[in-house]
Chain A
Amino acid sequence: MKLLTRALSACVLLAAATVAQAEVAVIVNAAATAAPSQSDVANIFLGKDKSLKGVDQKDWNPTKDKFYSAVASKNESQLKSYWSGLVFTGKGQPLPSVADDAAVVAKVGAEADAIGYVDKAAVTDKVKVLFTLP
């Protein structure tokens, strides 16, 4: 029952399908001057710091899992619970999200104040790597 439930859960299925090995790169626009630290990045992606526009990944995938566990010590359920707390107190909305690494790179490459996280292999010269999460 438990396995069946999980297998049918679209989000979890994606996470289970690939095993995370690659490094996760936190990226900003190539022309960006801001260089937020890891704790600044946590604040941006938890909606507490709006100085840069966080671009989230839509589905729960290994890159997203690694990013949130590394910068915010949160797994998928905890992140959902965190945002529920903000949504239902009217204090915030989850960040806008795009489909995958390529879409994050495209958006961050196009917007000067955007920040995202992708698999290191997806990084192009339009974006600058702030730091990587092993």
Chain B
Amino acid sequence: MTHLRVLSLAACLASTSAFALDQGEYRFNGFGTAGITHLGGEDDGRSYGVNGQTNDSWRGDQLSKLGGQFQYGLTDTVGVTVQATAKPEQDNWKANLEWAYLSWQATDALTLRAGRLRSPVYMYSETLDVGFTYPWLRLPDEVYSQVQVSNYEGADALYTLPLSFGSVSFQVAAGQAVNRNIFAADELYDIDYKKIFAANVSLATNDFGTVRVGYTEADINTDITARVNTVPFGTRATIGLNQLDDQKGKFTSIGYQYDNGTWLTANEWTSRIIERDGEGSTDAFYLMGGRRFGDFLAHVTYAQLDEDEGRQTSWTYGLNYNVTPTVIVKSEYKRVDTTGGYGGVFVENAQESYNHAAYAQTGGLFGSPARNYDGDIISVGVDFVF
């Protein structure tokens, strides 16, 4: 029990802070998630998820992560912030420097930052790793699997204007993210995002929730190729799965959150377009509703992902319990189905993708038909901040 006492004491102490730090002041804050997750109802070894670690064995490395953030006031208006995380990437744990920037509070309303910043792509982008700030253990994969880059090097400007009924914030960001990894066809590949430009506006009202509209674009370079056994003769060959050469990717996110203390809802719709012939947009959304019962929160989420003819849908049912104001135990059951011969967030390797394409192109003579997937994902874990 001692650790609980220490934790809540730390929580009390943590509330002695300032807006922007005064010169010489520093803060250390941390966050983490310890969770396990399991995919049932699919083939042996079939995996699911942004980095594909959810499969038919109970694993702790899809959801678990640990982060620390250090902030130091160089002067009363200029500060330095560094945030590091340890989290899994595909099958390995990896240390990441997520934030490393200088900030300047130019006026009461305007802050300028430069360095390595988190890319403000989604509604929850900037707290992607801080599970404590959202209701799920697993952010809706349908939306949150689409853009995998979590930070960039560049600069942004934040402007917040108080209003009589709430506040409105604007953010514009520009920079680049090169030599990053992207998980595709069960492997990690190199990807460069150049000329990143992002802008978002967030209107927070006191009584009617918060609306956020965000847009991000970047020139993408990647060469996702793999060696496969070709049909009909079984010879080895290299095929290109997704090759982008400075093609512009555009991502739009529209989100709405509301929380009156008892009822809450979080919703987001996204659309991703990569400018290239013959490819449409990838659209996704989720709708989440929940109700608090004392320290418990029960919530339900419907999510959908559409890409060409394929569709993934899911229902998630969750129950959270606030052990202390800074520690939440979460449990979740997610039922996922795909239609239209679509892999969705399920992982298909390059050989499978090739076989499906060969089947479609040869009218069923060779290869194997594209198939649908379904699964039951159970996740249990703890989110905390300090």
Q: Which of A50, A77, A90 has the most CB of B within 10 A?
A: A90
Cβ of A93 and Cβ of B165 under 8 Å apart? no
Nearest A residue to B322 via CB reads A77
A75 at the interface (CB under 8 A from B): yes
Once A5-B324, A93-B19 are accepted as A-B contacts, the answer to whether A39 and B385 lie under 8 Å apart by CB is: no
Cβ of B11 and Cβ of A11 under 8 Å apart? yes
Cβ of B12 and Cβ of A88 under 8 Å apart? no
Interface size class of B (residues with CB under 8 A): 35 or more
Q: How far is the CB of A97 from chain B (nearest CB, A)?
A: 5
Q: Which of A16-24, A26-34, A79-87, A116-124 is found at the contact surface with chain B?
A: A79-87
Cβ of B101 and Cβ of A39 under 8 Å apart? no
A1-22 toward B: CB 8 Å interface, digit per residue (1/0)? 0001100111110000000000
Chain A residues, Cβ within 8 Å of B206: 39, 42, 72-73
B162 at the interface (CB under 8 A from A): yes
Q: How far is the CB of A98 from chain B (nearest CB, A)?
A: 9
Cβ of A80 and Cβ of B325 under 8 Å apart? yes
A100 at the interface (CB under 8 A from B): no
Number of A-B residue pairs with CB-CB distance less than 8 Å in the complex they form? 132
Q: How far is the CB of A22 from chain B (nearest CB, A)?
A: 22
B1-45 toward A: CB 8 Å interface, digit per residue (1/0)? 100110011011011111111000001010100000000000000
Cβ of B162 and Cβ of A49 under 8 Å apart? yes
Measured CB to CB, the residues of B under 8 A from A are 1, 4-5, 8-9, 11-12, 14-21, 27, 29, 31, 67, 69, 71, 81, 83, 99, 101, 103, 108-109, 111, 113, 118, 126-127, 130, 132-133, 158, 160, 162, 164-167, 204, 206, 259-261, 295, 322-326, 328, 385
Since A43-B167, A95-B17 are in contact, a sample of 17 more A-B pairs with Cβ atoms closer than 8 Å, ordered by chain A residue number, is A8-B1, A8-B8, A9-B5, A11-B325, A12-B324, A42-B206, A48-B160, A72-B206, A77-B325, A80-B385, A84-B127, A84-B133, A85-B130, A85-B133, A89-B127, A93-B21, A93-B71
Measured CB to CB, the residues of A under 8 A from B are 4-5, 8-12, 37, 39-40, 42-43, 47-51, 56, 58-60, 69, 72-78, 80-81, 84-85, 87-97
